[in-house]
A and B are shown apart, each in its own frame.
Chain A
Amino acid sequence: VSGANDYFAIFTLKSWILGWFLRIISQVTFFALIGTLLQSDEQTKFFLIGNAVMVAGMGATFAMNMTTAERGNGTLSLLLASPSRPVVVFASRGIYVMADAVFSALLGLFILGPAFGLHFPMPRTILVVPLTLLVGFSAYCFSTFLAGVILRRREITGLVVNATIVTLMALCGVNVPVSFYPGWLEAISRCLPITNGLEAIRAVIDGDSWSTIAAHAGAELLVALAWLTLALATFGRFLHAGQRDGTLDYAS
């Protein structure tokens, strides 16, 4: 509930459409146009799908701002004193940002897809919806882990959020296939959120076999669970370490 209140305090319908949504449509268009520059329908399709799905990952990463805002708002001390587990409250505060990002990603994909001549085979394309949700969830687990890491350094949140987004954009097969990377980088890419889920989504739209789709989706789920486990295991430690050494200032 606190997350929903936060979220509706940030956006009205008008500011969402003219602000956030316009930005998302422009962002996906910006990359899809590279395909036009390259005069390649295949590339256009690749950039469009990759960057639309990336929106889900990007929004989930933005959620990091919501968790560290707890410190800035001076409510961290109350949260620490409450019987709830801080990581649960932190995770809930950003979940609406993630949900919005997934919704925006799907809107971007299904509005701009036809505009750029992309064909969505039905009914299998319906699978894109839960897969995009999986990508958003996976990126959200990763971002919650990072939120714990930087909890004691609130001043670098903006820097970490932005650097994380462009890094994921570069390393997760969003704009070039993962096979283009050197072997060691491909291995890292496979451990990051987005990569495997995006391949599953591409496989759905390309009409690949169900086993291929399941393998990619399974890998994304594994990655998401691994980051979630890491976040749950470390969040409390980061918090308590901050309490011990006094670096966890409660307001700024």
Chain B
Amino acid sequence: VRAFLAGASIQLRFMRAYPDAVIPFFTAPMFTVIFMMIFKHAGRADLTAYAAIAPVFIALWWLALFNSGWAITLERWNGTLEMLVAAPSSFAATILGRITTTTMIGVVSFVETWLVARLIFGTTVTIHHPWAFVATVVVTLAAMAGTAVAMSSLFVLARNAVTFSNSASYPFYVLGGILVPVSALPHWIRPVSAIVFLSWSADLLRATLNSAPVHDLAFRLGMIALLGACGFAVGAWAMRVILVRVRDTGELGTT
């Protein structure tokens, strides 16, 4: 737990020191403006929930890709990975502390997005199913952190990690149906969407803002948790591979 808290603490300091870390908190309100304008111009007030949800996912995904995703790589570049690995505390717990902190801070984008909707467009976002909403947010954040662990580990192993993280935004926004539901995508691509946890999260969050009853809540929450857990398992495996490899080959001090 102490290693986890230490990771959380250092991540907060990083975020204060590097303005790039707060980019999504500037872009999320602007995306809200864009989506709200689109639906207002089209006369579709019924789609407000869509406009209120998508910027949050954009912010959370950005944080997972660029802040959490680069956690281990930055430790390598800063030359602190050796000390972290040699320390008696759990390496995984420290990294998880950093990633969890980043993901939790992403919740701020909910507040921003809904404030913009209220103050600029006079639209109130109503949560019709508060308990289902809270449960979905919690499971989504956990799945996001699990996916971020996978990214963080895989980025160390992948040579083209920079290209991937710069490019992996919109493809996942489309596949995840964060604004336009997956049902609007061509049939052949829907099975791919089904294994992207964002698609389950976005659908469920939109449903909680709708007055209609939420169907299959437990199953849908379970799918988000399962896909997030798969991400975490991949990340944990890759982290083990990295540590074994750098110790075996003696690369730890030279990376």
Contact = CB atoms under 8 A, between A and B. Distances in A.
A6 interface: no
B170 A38 contact: no
A167 to B, nearest CB: 6
Range of interface residues on B (Cβ < 8 Å): 20 to 34
Interface stretch (B33-41, B144-152, B246-254): B33-41
A37 B51 CA distance: 12
Q: Specify which of A11, A30, A175 lies most central, judged by the most chain B CB atoms within 10 Å of its CB.
A: A30
Given A167-B30, A175-B37, A30 B22 contact: no
Contacts of A127: none
Interface in A94-130: none
Contacts of B164: 19
Nearest to B44: A38
A33 B167 contact: no
Nearest to A163: B26
A188 interface: no
Contacts of A169: 30, 34
B93 interface: no
A156 B173 CA distance: 26
Give the secondary structure class of B's interface. Answer: helix
Given A38-B44, A156-B19, A26 B179 contact: no
A162 B26 contact: yes
Contact of B167 (A20, A38, A40, A155): A20
Contacts of B20: 155, 158-159
Nearest to A177: B41
Interface in B188-222: none
Interface of B: 18-20, 22-23, 26-27, 30-31, 33-34, 37-38, 41-42, 44, 47, 50, 160, 163-164, 166-171, 173-174, 179-181, 184-185
18 contacts: A11-B163, A19-B164, A23-B169, A26-B173, A33-B185, A36-B184, A38-B42, A40-B42, A158-B19, A158-B20, A163-B26, A163-B30, A166-B26, A166-B30, A170-B33, A170-B34, A170-B37, A175-B34
* Top-10 shortest CB links A-B: A26-B170, A19-B163, A166-B30, A158-B20, A23-B167, A19-B167, A27-B170, A33-B180, A26-B171, A176-B41
